[in-house]
Amino acid sequence: MATRLGIDIGGTGIKGAPVDTNTGELVAPRLRIPTPHPATPSAVASVVADIAKHFDWTGPIGATFPAVVKDGVTHTAANVDPAWIGTDASAVLSEAADAPVTVVNDADAAGLAEMAFGVGKGRQDTVVVITLGTGIGSAVFSRGHLVPNTELGHIQIRGKDAERRAAESVREAQQLSWKKWAKRLNEYFAQLEALLWPDLIVIGGGVSKKSDKFLPLLMTRAEVVPAQLLNEAGIVGAAVVTEHAEWSRATT
């Protein structure tokens, strides 16, 4: 069994667990720690170190991050502290955890997990994975290959970033009914489909556990399904990316 530690850094929580990268299964209960505020590099790195210590981990680590990530450097910071922009996240986290850390865009990691072990496995058409959480993340696959660092949560809808209207955090903050939220999602997916014409849309993030509440209300041309790995996809994808050099080069 090949085991890697996967850590999913989000706007509200940072969670991690060892993962069997052959099966995509967690081999120990995950640990979740609230994301510090402000989510500065040093504060987040401290939490990553705590998670590694909790599992007595000394080997390679994969970590997701809610930003465009190239060569380990974070270039955006939509839902974390602006100090991350231009930061070598891989170096900062590696030093804190005292282990090599590969950093990958969070939605890309979730998408890689779904394509390897979930509902996207074996699909050779156009698949878009959308994570609905603090913001809206996206991962696009064509013939099984990832197009890294797509930022489709920032499509403009009525003059605003889509995630400012349709993220799960917005639904909660504005206490939107499932019907009203689905209407906003339908606007978003209409724009997405006009641009990409996907064959399959996979909905991830924590709200995917409640997909029966809103998926029947969506009106898309493409097939829409909940993520099979649910909210563990980021952890699994982060761990798996450390095992695959091609994915690592494409997404870090």
Give the confidence band of 249 by pLDDT, cuts at 50, 70, 90: very low
Tally Cβ neighbours within 10 Å of residue 143.
9
Q: Provide the whole-model pTM.
A: 0.90
Give the confidence band of 116 by pLDDT, cuts at 50, 70, 90: very high
Domains and CATH numbers, the chain: 3-108+232-251 (3.30.420.40), 120-228 (3.30.420.40)
Bridge partners (DSSP) of residue 226 are: 203
Is residue 1's pLDDT more than 70?
Answer: no
Is residue 250's pLDDT more than 70?
Answer: no
- Higher pLDDT, residue 69 or 80: 69
Q: Do the bridges between strand 145-147 and strand 223-226 make them parallel or antiparallel, or are there none, so unpaired?
A: unpaired
The rounded mean pLDDT for the chain is 92
For the chain, give the percent of residues with pLDDT over 70: 96
Q: Do the bridges between strand 145-147 and strand 136-142 make them parallel or antiparallel, or are there none, so unpaired?
A: antiparallel
For 159-210, write each residue's pLDDT tens digit. Answer: 999 999 999 999 999 999 999 999 999 999 999 999 999 999 999 988 999 9
**Torsion sign (Cα): 141, 147, 149, 154:** negative
Bridge partners (DSSP) of residue 87 are: 74
**Mean pLDDT, residues 47-66 taken together:** 95
Give ∠ CA 21-23-26 in degrees, rounded to 5.
75
